[in-house]
Structure 1
Amino acid sequence: MLYFDCFSGISGDMTIAALLDAGIPVDVLEDSLHKLSLNQDYELNVSRVVKNGISSLSFDVKAESHHHHRHYHDIVQLLEESDLQPSVKHHAVEMFRLVGEAEAKIHGKPINEVHFHEVGAIDSIIDMVGVAYSLIIYK
C-alpha cells in the first residue's frame, strides 16, 4: 500500500522522488519516458538529500527551456501519439484533463483554449507521465 500525507501539498517532482525512493528503478522510469516523442533534450537528475534531518531522494528535470506553452489538445496529441502503454496514456490524459478543467474554470475559457504554462513545460509533462507510469504499470 502507498500512502501520501500531503498536509502542505506536493509537487510532481516530489511525487516522482518519493516513488523512486519507494523502489521504482530510475532506469525503468527513464525507459518509459523515452516512449514520449518530446523532440527536446532533457536530463533527469536524481540525488539523495537531507533536509531538516530527513533523508530523501530529490528528482529534477533539466531541459533547455522550461517555458514551452502548450494547449490541452497539444498535450493529449503528444500522449496519444506516444508508445506508452494504453493505461498510462489514459491516466496521464485524465490528469491533464483535471488540471485543464481547473484552469478553464479559473480563466473562464473552454478547456481547448486554455494555455498551459508551467504544466505545458517538458518538466511537468515528465512529472505527470512519470507518476502515471509509476502508479499504473510499475506496482
Structure 2
Amino acid sequence: MKTLYFDCFSGISGDMVIGALIDAGADPEFLVQELSKLKMEDEYKLVWKKVVKNGISSTKFDVILVDNLTEHSIAGDSGDHSHKHTHSHDDDHNHEHSHSHDDDHNHEHSHSHDDDHSHEHSHHHNHNHSHQHRSYKDIVELIQSADFSDDIKNTALKIFEKIGRAEGHIHGMPLEQVHFHEVGAVDSIIDIVGTAILIHHLEVSVIKASALPVGTGRIKIDHGIYPVPAPATLEILKEIPIEHTKIRGELTTPTGAAIAAALADEFCAFPSIMVQSIGYGTGTKNFAEHPNVLRVIIGEQ
C-alpha cells in the first residue's frame, strides 16, 4: 500500500507541499500541463528551483503573479514565517514576506533555463486582467469546468471546502456566500489544485501526517493584530493535533492546514514504512536552529 507521510516539523504551507512533492519525484512538467486546464495561464508564471536550507537540499516552488512580477514572488503560501497578512478574509495568499538570513548555510542556486535545476514557465497573453477576488462559488465552477479527472476535482474541492467553511464560520455566513481573497487568490488556487494533481500523479493510496506546529506570536491581517495561529488556521485544525513550539511566527498557514486536514487519513508519529522516496519543500524564512522545510516520505506500508 503506497503511503505518503507529511513530516511537518517546520509547519506546512501550500508552496512547501508542492515543492516537497516535486522533490520526491512528481513531474513538474506534468503539473504545468494539467494546470493549463484551468485556463488561467495569463495570470501567473511558475518557478521551481533547488535551494539549500541549513544544509538540506530542497525544492522551492513559487507562483509569480503576472500583474505583480516585479513586486513579489509568491507566495501565497510561501512558508515565510513573518508574514504581513493583507487578506480581507484571513487569507494566507497575500503576504508581505520578510527575508532573513540567520546563518551562512542557506544558499539559493539560480540556474539559467537551459539546465535542469531552475525552471520558469511564463504564461503571458497580454490580457492583463486580474481575478484576485474570486469567490468560493467561482472556484468550484472553475474546477468543475476544467478537464481534470474526477479524482483531482474531488480532492481539490475537498481542500477548498475546508477553507471555505472555516472562513464562513469566522465571518458568520454560509459557505455559498463566502467571497474572499484567500480562496480567490491565483497562487492559492495553483497550490491547492496543484497538490491534488501531484498527489494523484504519484498514485498514493494512504496519506498520513505528523502533528502540526503552528508557531507563536502575532500577525497582522486586515482586521488588526491577531494571535498565531490565524483564526482560519485554527478553525481548520479543529480535532487535529497541534504541536507546541516556541518559534515566533506563522509555521502553518490556512492553505497548509487545509491540505493536511482534507488529505490525511491519520495524524501520527513516523509510521513503519519501506521508504522509496523522500522530498523536501522549502519555505522562504530561514531559522538558525533547523531547516525551514516540509519533508515528504513515500513508501510501502
2:49 corresponding residue in structure 1: 47
SS in 2 for 1:87: helix
SS in 2 for 1:34: helix
1:9 corresponding residue in structure 2: 11
- For residues 37-94 of structure 1, give each alpha carbon's deviation from its aligned partner in whole angstroms, at most 9, with x where no partner exists: 2263321100111112211000000112476011111000000111111110111111
Structure with greater helix share of residues:
1
Q: Among 109, 112, 132, which residue is 2:173 paired with?
A: 109
Distance (Å, rounded) in 2 between the aligned partners of 1:72 and 1:27: 28
Distance (Å, rounded) in 1 between the aligned partners of 2:26 and 2:174: 37
- For residues 79-123 of structure 1, give each alpha carbon's deviation from its aligned partner in whole angstroms, at most 9, with x where no partner exists: 011111111011111110111001111111111221221331111
SS in 2 for 1:125: helix
2:35 corresponding residue in structure 1: 33
TM-score normalised by the chain length of structure 1: 0.92
**The structure with more radius of gyration:** 2
1:126 corresponding residue in structure 2: 190
Q: Report the aligned-residue RMSD.
A: 1.6
TM-score normalised by the chain length of structure 2: 0.44
Distance (Å, rounded) in 2 between the aligned partners of 1:79 and 1:3: 26
With 35-44 and 91-100 compared, the bigger mean Cα shift is at 35-44
AA at the equivalent of 2:12? I
SS in 2 for 1:69: coil
Distance (Å, rounded) in 1 between the aligned partners of 2:59 and 2:9: 19
User: Do the aligned partners of 2:38 and 2:143 also contact (CA within 8 Å) in 1?
Assistant: yes
Distance (Å, rounded) in 1 between the aligned partners of 2:67 and 2:189: 13
Distance (Å, rounded) in 2 between the aligned partners of 1:8 and 1:109: 33
Please state how far the C-alpha of 1:136 moved relative to its aligned partner.
2.0
Q: Percent identity?
A: 50
Distance (Å, rounded) in 2 between the aligned partners of 1:119 and 1:107: 14
| Structure 1 unpaired stretches of 5+ | none
AA at the equivalent of 2:37? K
Bigger RCO (CA 8 Å, 6+ sep): 2
SS in 2 for 1:84: coil
How many residues are paired up? 139
